Amino acid sequence: MAQPGIGKKTQTKVEDQSSLKGTLASVFLLGFFLIVTWVGVYFLFVDRF
C-alpha cells in the first residue's frame, strides 16, 4: 500500500504568470472607495434634508 514518496506533495509555490489577482483586489478597493464616498454624502443628505 504505502508507496514512499507518492503521498509527499512537492509544494514548490509557482505563482501563475497570468494571474490577475492584483487587478481583482484593485478593482474591489476602487469599488469600496466609490461606495464609501457615496454613502458618506448620502448620510449628509439624510442629516440635512
CA 16/CA 27 separation, integer angstroms: 20
Residue 9, number of CB atoms within 10 A of its CB: 6
- Site of interaction with another protein (CB under 8 A): 15, 17-23, 25-27, 30, 33-34, 37-38, 41-42, 44-45, 48-49
Closest approach of Cβ 29 to another protein, in Å? 9
Closest approach of Cβ 10 to another protein, in Å? 19
Amino acid 12 reads T
Nearer to another protein, 3 or 23 (CB): 23
Q: How far is CA 11 from the centre of its chain?
A: 23
